A and B are shown apart, each in its own frame.
Chain A
Amino acid sequence: MKRTVKRVLELIVILMILSFFTFLLMYLAPGDPAEKRLVSQGVVVTKEVLDAERERLGLMKPFFIRYGEWLFGVCRGDFGVSFKDDMPVGPKLLAGLANTLQLAGASMLLSLLISIPLSIVAAFRKNSIADHIIKLFAFLGNSLPNFLISVILMYFFCIHTKLFPIIATGSLQGLLLPALSLSIPISGRFLRQMRQEFLMQISQDYITGMCNRGVKRRYIVGNVLYNSTAHVLNIVALQVGSLMTGSVVIETIFRWPGIGKLVMDSITARDYPVIMGFVLVMGTVYVVINQLVDVCMGCLDPRIRMESEGHHDKA
């Protein structure tokens, strides 16, 4: 119970720092927001118009009051209005996030479907030809930048063979190629780390014991998977960041209407409230996922649970 409270407090502090950093970033951004806003709307900038705009945007108030007002708004889901079209930022972010989650979820699923069976094969047949091929794939996937992979995939599947549409619309067919581009580098990292983890499990005494009792291969695989669940979860959590970055790149290339494409469009348009919202939303999702995984890790492996409870008793 105490631990839960501590975790929640920690989470709040980190999110406060994130919000402060985001606000500071915009505050320090070169140029005058009021002027930028007017320019991005195509208004002719004069001194009077500029001052009126500044007053209206609350730019004349001191820094901390502005931060407080902004934070208060954000907590109620009010991320301000977009410079570009005066529409509220919140719904824009939400719509983008929903699409991004679709893409990210599909990619994560695909990555797991690729990497778990392959890393099992690689680990159980260490140093076989299959293992070497899988290792090579992992190395390439890990090394090649995702934008290069998606451009190559796009060339072969959309332009060369015309199997898929170039612009990913909401359809399942449109989702496949972006998801694949996003999942190749992530699978590369998964394969590497999961193979390592499974090899570690295989080298344990209990596997030798099971072999000696003649336990069937499928049960042995089951035991290995069971024992590595906590670590696999951690491996997955480590890639959430690259999933987010990747989605910005992939969404831009395939014009997937997610939050990543939204932010790139907003960067081009200098639409600061949207960029702020993006950092805040992605940061929050990232931090929350990581905290959740930490908690789950403890629940999954009874030994970790025992250790941490032991720590808690001492503390």
Chain B
Amino acid sequence: MLEIKHLSAGYEGEQTLHDINLTMQPGEILCIVGESGSGKSSLIRAITGYKGLQVTEGSICFGGQELMRGKRACANGVMGREIGLIPQNPEGSFNPIRTFEKQFREMFASHGMSMEEAQIEGAFETVGLQDYKRILKSRPYEMSGGMNQRIAIAAAMLLSPKLLICDEATSALDVTTAQLVMDELLQMRRDLGTGILMVTHNLGIAKHMADRIAIMYQGELVEIGPCQDVIDHPQHAYTKQLLESAPRMSA
């Protein structure tokens, strides 16, 4: 489904990704683990077509379609229904001075979908939000950052994309809500065959969710393999170090 070949990219003057090769199957859950500055976010930005990031080499294919060379993924209609993103700081992702209702309507209209309140209610419940009617009538600037985050997560899920990318999305949530979101993600995979690409520095979450784990270090993909293999038999020195420094799981 997702195929990344020899990808190198970076910001002005600074290379942050070196020769990344990665494939994902439909319905797979892949966790990318690495410390801050390891290039996890750059990789996601390369896939979603972030403007500031310049791809210098390689290709990214999604469902046989190439998403590349400066052309934003959102410009060729991939973002939303095909690839969904829950960004690292989702609280600012709605226009602060327009009502959620209008913005949801535009979002659905953009994908030729009709807005169904029952669906919205359900999605809001999975992120722990009650009273969806009141929320739809209000504007983001009137709400707390936490509320905005949850609504953004619900919005990404509502579009039920084929591949959902989560960039540390649950790190800002409280534990119970995070658990709800995790469960919902697993549910989506089961019901709809949604593939999930998760970026995290939390090995515990990775172990809990992932089919495969990829380890990133200094802009390179140093190790990738089935979850249990990577944890039990780490190959790369950095992975060993990472596993040792992580608090022991109750195995």
Contact = CB atoms under 8 A, between A and B. Distances in A.
A associates with B: yes
Interface of A: 204-206, 208-217, 219, 222-223, 226-227, 301-303
A212 B85 contact: yes
Contacts of A208: 50, 87, 93
Contact of B95 (A214, A216, A217, A227): A227
Interface in B63-79: 72, 74-75, 77-79
Interface string B93-118: 11111100000001101110000000
Interface size class of B (residues with CB under 8 A): 20 to 34
B139 A213 contact: no
Is chain B's binding surface mostly helix, strand, loop or mixed? loop
A33 B85 CA distance: 77
A131 to B, nearest CB: 14
Nearest to A304: B97
Nearest to A301: B97
B79 A211 contact: yes
Contacts of A223: 95, 98, 106
A302 B141 contact: yes
8 contacts: A211-B74, A212-B80, A212-B85, A214-B78, A214-B159, A226-B97, A226-B98, A303-B97
A212 B87 contact: yes
Contacts of A210: 93, 95, 107
A227 B139 CA distance: 13
Given A206-B92, A303-B141, A213 B79 contact: yes
Interface of B: 48, 50, 72, 74-75, 77-81, 84-85, 87, 89-90, 92-98, 106-107, 109-111, 139-141, 152, 155-156, 159
What are the 4 tightest A-B residue pairs by CB atom distance, in nearest-first order? A214-B80, A209-B93, A205-B92, A211-B74
Contacts of A303: 96-97, 141
A214 B94 CA distance: 13
Given A210-B93, A213-B156, A303-B141, 17 more contacts: A205-B92, A205-B93, A206-B92, A206-B140, A212-B84, A212-B85, A212-B87, A214-B74, A214-B77, A214-B80, A214-B110, A214-B159, A216-B110, A219-B110, A223-B95, A223-B106, A303-B96
